Amino acid sequence: MKRIITIFSVLLCTLSFSFAQRIVKGSVKDANGDILIGANILVKGTTIGAISDLDGNYELSVPANATTLVASYTGYNSKEIELGTSDMIDIVLAAGQLLDEIVVVGYGTQIKSRLTGNIASIKTEEIEGMPLVSVDQAIQGKAAGVFVNAGSGKLGQAVTVRVRGNSSISANSQPLYVIDGVPVTTGDFGNYGGETNTLADINYNDVESIQVLKDASAGAIYGARAANGVVLITTKRGKAGKTSINFNLQTGNSEATKRVGFLNASEFESFYRYAAGAADRIDGVDPKDPGSSTSTLFGSGGILDYYSYGTYGTANAVDNDWQEGVFRSAPQMQGDLQISGGSDKTKYFISGQFLDVEGTIIGNSLKRVTGRINLDHQANDWLSFGVQMSLGRTDNIRLPDDNAFSNPLQSVALTPFTPFTDPETGLPAGTPPGDVNIPLYYNPVISLNYGKFKAISNRTLANVYGQVDFTKNLKFRTEFGSDVLNQNEEGYFGSQTVRNQTRAARGIGSNFGTFVTNYNTNNYLAYNKTSGAHTFDATLGMGYQQSQTLTNYIEAFGFASDSYKKLASAATKSDGSSTETNFRFVSYFTRANYSFKDRYLLGVSARIDGSSRFGTNSRYGQFPAVSAGWVVSEEGFMKKIPALSFLKIRGSYGLTGNSEVGNFPQLGLAQGDAGYVGVPGQRPAQLANPDLKWETTTQADIGIDFGLLKNRISGELDYYDKVTTDLLLEVNVPGTSGFTRQFRNVGKLTNKGFEVVINTNNLVGDFKWNTSLNWATNQNKVVDIQGQVIEGGIRNMNRVAEGQPIGVFFTREYAGVDPANGNALFYKNTKSSDGTLSRETVTNNAYNSTERVVVGNPNPKFIGGITNTFSYKGVDLSIFLNGVYGNDINFYGVGQYSSANGIYEDNQTKDQLNAWRPDNTNTNVPEARFYIANGSQPSSRYILDGSYLRLRNVSLGYNLPKSLLRQMRLEKGRVYVSGTNLATWTKYAGWDPEVNSDTFTSNFAQGNDFYTPPTPRTILFGINVGL
Amino acid sequence: MKKSYLFLLAIIAIFGFSSCDKNLNVIPTQSIEQDASLQTSRDIEAYLIGCYDGIQNSETYAGAFQYTSELLGHTQNGEVRFAGTFANLLELISKTTTTINSTAEVQWLRAYNVINRCNTVIANISKVDEAKRARVEAEALFLRGSLYFDLARLYGKSWGDGDNNANPAVPLILTPTTVISDESSLPRASVGAVYTQAINDLTKASTALPASNSVYATSGAANAMLARLYLQQGDYAKARTAADAVIAGGRYRLVTPFSAAFNTRLYNGGANPAEYIFAVQVNDQDGTSSMNTFFSTAFSAIPGTAGRGDIRILAAHKATYDANDDRGKFFIKPSAASTQEFTNKFIDRFGNVVVARLAEMYLIRAECNFRLNGVVGDTPLNDINRLRTRANATPLTEAQLTLDAILKERRTELAFEGFRLHDIKRTRGNVGALPWNDNKLVLPVPQREIDVNKKLSQNPGY
């Protein structure tokens, strides 16, 4: 009966639509009187609507019985307008309140003011125009407590991201990345040079927002993989309304941020004359003796004579700065086309991007083409579905790792007397048929001229969803996503590179295929209900993920000529392999939030995760979290304080896990790689640990969110305390067992810190000035590793030690120079009976008698970022700085050769000119002695302060006035200029304090520099046109 | 109505996935689960091959055992100079070995890794086809016994230096490891116990192994290792018996000229010369001769040569050879003008690394006969002169044949093949100023082992 009435009334309404209508029109403007184009005006309760046009006007046929219009516009508060008798209705929309923004959380969204967890949000518009290759770089300096280090200026390489400190030693500490609900494939799949970054396959201009889930209450719904934080990336969606076509083109140039000063030819000569003389004095050799160091270096047929092709000491002698030969002004170009729009029922976002970046170091480039389509369709009042799909191809010509002689930046060590080109052949020094043993070390240019290593990856991210609204309050959502990564890597090194690739006498090539298929499904029910003062929402569901990685590889050598570069032409197929590995997760999750009067907030969440990575005895882990909040400003007694517009106190406590230890760590394994001259064989490869499970991080967080002066000042303050136990530690076992290490759950470490976020609207009106600041501290401490000795980094100088932050620099302590003789001094630091350390000093010959001590910490004490944006009429300016304070960098990778008192023939950094001499005794640089170690041993001398403040980005834009745009029939017209890494303030003596060498870095061994190319400084010009 | 069905479907979608649990049991296919690798006879035979693969690693019989003996047995700038940059090797020759010396560490780890492989074969021997069972087990026993013998003499005091049954050598582990528990931390067994174990393994192997077995262990190999072990113990009668068994077996013969006994890839197509009783096989795809790595360098005139050129031969060494002796000329320079000189024994990058060759058996039989005043097999003079004649050296006369002459012949014939330290120890000689039983001539127990196994004691002097 009820249904019949419903049908009848619908019919009635339809009838009345067709008979009684009137036209309502007007304009839509913002509070400043600027017109709003594309605003949505809807007759409430119907699908009848219109969109404001280029002049901000709308026109709408309104049924006679309609009473209310609803106007909405992105970033503005929706407004309901009562229909009166007038047919002219001008609508003014107010800009949306900051604290009412919607935040993406795991499996849903939440209103920020009701949030009880800690989530950092980044809108990509904040970083528009920055020359970022991968989306993880966008977080740098923008999210409190998230430390990002690009590591180097090499394109497409891994970026270190640490959310609230490093909470693991042997397992990976990178956060989990989830794009549109799919945990995507991350990690290193490269076979040449440093670790690759699979996020570089994704067009970050497709990203609408990035949320970093930092505390347990936000993260626990991602269970066993949330301990390192979760980065939720949401791509752009279409909006109902006029089709928007946006084209952006930006082009510019990059330069390395810094050169390090090295000796020029005359400095080199005088420095080494002294060094050789000092060596002869110590050896008791007459410098005129043909066997003396002086003669070896400077004599006829000596080192300089040889490496300069005989030009040393002649009029043809050169003075080359090898550094200039490896850096270049690198052009880049990026074009973006984005089309979005749709109706109330169907919305779409379509985009394409072309990116072409050259590296600031020779031989490095990255090209990427991506396309995306996001579709959402409302089939009827209870069913909706959609698809997100992106395709991309990335061509990355890669550089060798930092520790390869073919690393271009290593050529700074070459003598300035060596000409760039061999005078006989006119080819780069060291190229056959010339003498391949010139220069001092392999000339990296040869590898670039006659070799290449290129990685091509094809990436498809596809995700479909369906959503059923059972009632207004209860919906079911099902998602199925796939992430397919196909990568081909091809390397070829011609016969000319033989000094570097010993088997390349007739050319050598290799080819790697990598196929990663990652499927994921999420199915969950979501319920929400508001009843009077009570608001309740709940989510319950499951997820399943399976990932498979297949690889194959072939190597071959012996090519008829250097023109043949494909392995089909190789005479000997010398090596080949194929591998497979898998992991799977089954998860169940739930969350419930309750709020009373929008004032008292309570949240609980939990996840159960099962994984193929863990032992049969501990396959499922449980990760619960609780949180609560109190919106104090809603209390009557607080409303008396008019300056306080918002105040919320919140706290959370819960468990998250980390399971990033590779696959099958729990199984006893045999490996079939133990053949003997052609006969197949196998061997025991790994011990079983059926009890192996995840690391567990227990995190407590308390914080306040506040808004002052009508939210013109708003912010968040947080304190967190993370305790990670059952570390997935690769522990040493007795070697007599036949094994050396095993993954076990032992040990404990902690991270605690403060976070501050402050956003202010300093000036409003025509001239606007906003400031956004974030600042965070982190204190890391390794509490217990059961006495394991865990070392890594350059010369094993990084150490994990109980009672210390993870990965501290542990080496001998340098005590300066003995003014009497120029000897390097080291503190003994031996422990005396009363427990104090001996501050007695010894010199080189007793170096081994000194004890190693903690001399530095690669983890920053605090990090921060500040962005100021100004706008006046159509001009906008944004100035973004970020900084890192209190971390140390190990420069020994470079220093052991290049700041080493002339121990080898390597060119030296300019600071070595201050070496001790009889007339320069008050110095910290020991006397230069050729082939005699004097202070060049590992010590605190090379542990340098890595703090920096960087002018990360300045961008200045001009939006064409709307009147002009109307004449040009454009929606948007903007020109801008953007400068990135324009200035860096640091005491660090190396190229770049934002460094993590790709060779010596591990999860805990951070802050190593090994001739690592610096990040680029980039100036871009851009134009953005919207139709 | 429809919606209620959908709701049911949703519930099934969420909770019906409990069947996913079985999906969490992913079967690895690249590395396989250990149980799956221990099923058939073929599986166990593949493990046996894995044992040979284990010693093919440069850290045991493919070089490290040999060069450790040579570096510890020589003094820096005496007969040789170590001119390389590896601190671990420099420490050995300059007798400044530290407990973190990586040679001392990797030899220990690798030896036990291979022992675990051998133990896996031995523990699963019942799965091997009956026809092959005895041989397969014997090959594993040969390798295990040899490794324990070499571990005992590198990490324990010399045989006879005090009480063999009190001096600690290395832990004895005779079963494969499947879990790590407190029982995995074993104390060091005595020198006597480890030698006894090695004798048992090698004796069993010598009777069960065939006389001919491709490039794998043979009864000759087991007897050769036994002869060497008994000689180290000063048990000359048993050493003589074992050496004579190898010679009398007639499988091996001295090759002529002397140079034909070396550099198998360059000069013998990669095959063992007839003189080799047992050698680690190396080819261009598999194996590394670290004797080549450290004793040789690349000679541009000879393709296929390589090496770091670290261990250089000095005039004092060359002066120890008799005139006309081919072995005294078996050295090589990169160029005529070069001041660097290397032994010619290991210039082949892909040469097999000899572990035992027939010449050693003649030397053992000669020495034992001489010491015991016997003539088992042949006279000492004949045995010694066989080697001298092959090398075009003047044969010794009966009057010239002394124990010193026999030991000198041994040094001449077997120079740089890994005998130096052990011969000095058993003959109670000196390394420079250090007496044969100096603490510095015993390797330290690796610090990493001491750190993880509290039951291990460190050697005196470290």
Q: Number of folded domains in chain B?
A: 1
Q: How confident is the model over B108-117, as a mean pLDDT? A: 97
Within a 13 Å sphere around the CA of B128, how many CA atoms are in the beta-carbon half?
A: 20
Q: How confident is the model over A265-294, as a mean pLDDT? A: 93
- A398 pLDDT more than 90: yes
A789 contact residues in B (CB cutoff 8 A)? 448, 451
Is the predicted ipTM greater than 0.95, yes or no?
no
Query: Is residue A84 located within the same domain as residue A146?
Result: no
Query: Is residue A65 located within the same domain as residue A158?
Result: no
B335 to chain A, any CB pair closer than 8 A? The answer is: no
Interface test with B, best of A669, A683, A733, A802 (most B CBs within 10 A): A683
B3 contact residues in A (CB cutoff 8 A)? 382, 468, 470
Residue A494: predicted pLDDT: 93
pTM across the whole model: 0.87
What residues contact A538, with CB distance under 8 A and at least 6 apart?
A526, A527, A528, A590, A591, A592, A593
A517 contact residues in B (CB cutoff 8 A)? none
Q: How many CB atoms sit inside 10 A of residue A627's CB?
A: 25
Structural domain contains residue B403: yes
A737 to chain B, any CB pair closer than 8 A? The answer is: yes
Residue B18: predicted pLDDT: 57
pLDDT digits (tens, 9 = 90+) for A668-712: 999 999 999 889 999 999 999 988 999 999 999 999 999 998 889
DSSP-based three-state secondary structure for B230: helix
- A488 pLDDT more than 80: yes
pLDDT digits (tens, 9 = 90+) for A914-929: 999 999 999 999 999 9
- B146 pLDDT more than 90: yes
What mean pLDDT, rounded, does chain B reach?
A: 93
A6 confidence band (pLDDT: 50, 70, 90): very low
What residues contact A165, with CB distance under 8 A and at least 6 apart?
A147, A722, A751, A753, A778, A779, A780, A859
A100 confidence band (pLDDT: 50, 70, 90): low
A470 to chain B, any CB pair closer than 8 A? The answer is: yes
B108 contact residues in A (CB cutoff 8 A)? 735
Q: How confident is the model over A964-969, as a mean pLDDT? A: 89
- A11 pLDDT more than 50: no
Query: Is residue A69 located within the same domain as residue A161?
Result: no
Cα(B160)–Cα(A678) distance, integer angstroms = 43
What residues contact A48, with CB distance under 8 A and at least 6 apart?
A42, A60, A61, A62, A63, A66
Query: What are φ and ψ of residue A761, in 5° steps?
Result: -100, 90
Structural domain contains residue B33: no
Q: How many CB atoms sit inside 10 A of residue A820's CB?
A: 8
pLDDT digits (tens, 9 = 90+) for B297-332: 888 788 888 888 899 999 999 999 999 999 999 999
Residue B20: predicted pLDDT: 65
Within a 13 Å sphere around the CA of B158, how many CA atoms are in the beta-carbon half?
A: 21
Q: How confident is the model over B380-384, as a mean pLDDT? A: 97
A766-769: Cβ within 8 A, 24+ apart: A766/A32, A766/A872, A766/A873, A767/A870, A767/A871, A767/A872, A768/A869, A768/A870, A768/A871, A768/A872, A769/A868, A769/A869, A769/A870
Look at A687 and B179 and tell me if their CB atoms are within 8 Å: yes
Cα(B419)–Cα(B403) distance, integer angstroms = 17
Contact map slice: B 377-416 vs A, CB within 8 A:
none
The 10 Å CB-count burial string (b at 16+, else e) for B254-275 is bbeebbbbbbbbbebebebbeb
pLDDT digits (tens, 9 = 90+) for A371-384: 999 999 999 989 99
pLDDT digits (tens, 9 = 90+) for A767-825: 999 999 999 999 999 999 988 888 999 989 999 999 999 999 999 999 999 999 999 99
Nearest CA-CA distance, residue A581 and chain B, Å: 7
Cα(A606)–Cα(A626) distance, integer angstroms = 9
- B11 pLDDT more than 90: no
Structural domain including B266 reads: 39-177+187-437
- A942 pLDDT more than 90: yes
Which residues does residue A650 pair with via DSSP β-bridges, in sequence order?
Answer: A629, A703
Contact map slice: B 121-180 vs A, CB within 8 A:
170-171, 173, 176-180
Cα(A888)–Cα(A874) distance, integer angstroms = 43
Query: Is residue A115 located within the same domain as residue A195?
Result: yes
Q: How many CB pairs under 8 A join A and B?
A: 206
Query: Is residue A103 located within the same domain as residue A223?
Result: yes
Inter-residue contact B448 to A789 (CB < 8 Å):
yes
Residue with tokens 């890994």: B418
- B202 pLDDT more than 50: yes
Enumerate helices (H) and strands (E) in chain B, giving the number of each. Answer: 17, 9
Residue A75: predicted pLDDT: 67
Cross-chain CB nearest to B24 (options A470, A580, A586): A586
Inter-residue contact A647 to A633 (CB < 8 Å):
yes
CATH number at residue A25: 2.60.40.1120
Q: How confident is the model over A705-729, as a mean pLDDT? A: 93
- A139 pLDDT more than 70: yes
Residue A9: predicted pLDDT: 42
Cross-chain CB nearest to B3 (options A470, A581, A588): A470
Query: Is residue A164 located within the same domain as residue A78?
Result: no
Structural domain contains residue A85: yes
Contact map slice: A 493-532 vs B, CB within 8 A:
523-525
Query: Is residue A23 located within the same domain as residue A125?
Result: no
Distances from the Cα of A314 to the Cα of A266, A310, B67, angstroms: 13, 8, 47
- B414 pLDDT more than 50: yes
Residue A638: predicted pLDDT: 82
What residues contact A262, with CB distance under 8 A and at least 6 apart?
A321, A322, A323, A412, A416, A898, A907, A908, A909, A910
Cross-chain CB nearest to A737 (options B13, B117, B184): B184
Residue A99: predicted pLDDT: 46
Structural domain contains residue A387: no
Say which range, A53-62, A331-340, B207-216, B448-457, has the weakest mean pLDDT: A53-62
Q: How confident is the model over A606-620, as a mean pLDDT? A: 89
CATH number at residue A224: 2.170.130.10
pLDDT digits (tens, 9 = 90+) for A549-572: 999 999 999 999 989 999 999 999
Look at A586 and B179 and tell me if their CB atoms are within 8 Å: no
- B195 pLDDT more than 60: yes
Structural domain contains residue B309: yes
- A581 pLDDT more than 50: yes
- Angle of helix B380-390 relative to helix B403-414, nearest 10 degrees, comes to 30
CATH number at residue B359: 1.25.40.390
Structural domain contains residue A567: no
Query: Is residue A106 located within the same domain as residue A92?
Result: no
- B13 pLDDT more than 90: no
A573 to chain B, any CB pair closer than 8 A? The answer is: no
- A14 pLDDT more than 80: no
Q: How confident is the model over B31-57, as a mean pLDDT? A: 94
Share of chain A above pLDDT 90, in %: 72
Query: Is residue A109 located within the same domain as residue A200?
Result: yes
A49 confidence band (pLDDT: 50, 70, 90): confident
A574 contact residues in B (CB cutoff 8 A)? 285
A20 confidence band (pLDDT: 50, 70, 90): low
A290 to chain B, any CB pair closer than 8 A? The answer is: no
Nearest CA-CA distance, residue A653 and chain B, Å: 27
Residue A17: predicted pLDDT: 41
Nearest CA-CA distance, residue A414 and chain B, Å: 21
pLDDT digits (tens, 9 = 90+) for A160-179: 999 999 999 999 999 999 99
Look at A675 and B177 and tell me if their CB atoms are within 8 Å: no
Cα(A382)–Cα(A303) distance, integer angstroms = 82
Query: Is residue A77 located within the same domain as residue A171?
Result: no
A16 confidence band (pLDDT: 50, 70, 90): very low
Structural domain contains residue A155: yes
Structural domain contains residue B443: no
Structural domain contains residue B461: no
Q: Which residue has the higher pLDDT, A27 or A95?
A: A27
Look at A735 and B46 and tell me if their CB atoms are within 8 Å: no
Residue B253: predicted pLDDT: 96
Cross-chain CB nearest to A736 (options B23, B112, B287): B112
Residue A146: predicted pLDDT: 95
Look at A544 and B20 and tell me if their CB atoms are within 8 Å: yes
Residue with tokens 């009029």: A315
Q: Kind of pairing, strands B434-435 and B430-431?
A: antiparallel
Cα(A316)–Cα(A311) distance, integer angstroms = 5
Q: From the CA atom positions of chain B, what is the Rg in Å?
A: 25
Inter-residue contact A707 to A690 (CB < 8 Å):
no
Cross-chain CB nearest to B7 (options A470, A583, A738): A470
Structural domain contains residue B298: yes
Last residue of a domain, one of A237, A259, A290: A237
Structural domain contains residue A828: yes
Inter-residue contact A899 to A892 (CB < 8 Å):
no
Residue A59: predicted pLDDT: 86
Residue A2: predicted pLDDT: 46
A432 confidence band (pLDDT: 50, 70, 90): confident
Structural domain contains residue B348: yes
Residue A1: predicted pLDDT: 43
Q: How confident is the model over B109-134, as a mean pLDDT? A: 97
Say which range, A205-214, A610-619, A680-689, B321-330, has the weakest mean pLDDT: A610-619
B37 contact residues in A (CB cutoff 8 A)? 670, 682
Structural domain contains residue A84: yes
Residue B88: predicted pLDDT: 87
Q: How confident is the model over A401-417, as a mean pLDDT? A: 94
Look at B180 and A739 and tell me if their CB atoms are within 8 Å: yes
Cα(A20)–Cα(A11) distance, integer angstroms = 14
Query: Is residue A85 located within the same domain as residue A111?
Result: no
Look at A687 and B180 and tell me if their CB atoms are within 8 Å: yes
Query: Is residue A51 located within the same domain as residue A68?
Result: yes
Structural domain contains residue B11: no
Q: How confident is the model over A880-903, as a mean pLDDT? A: 95
Q: Number of folded domains in chain A?
A: 3
Structural domain including A823 reads: 814-851
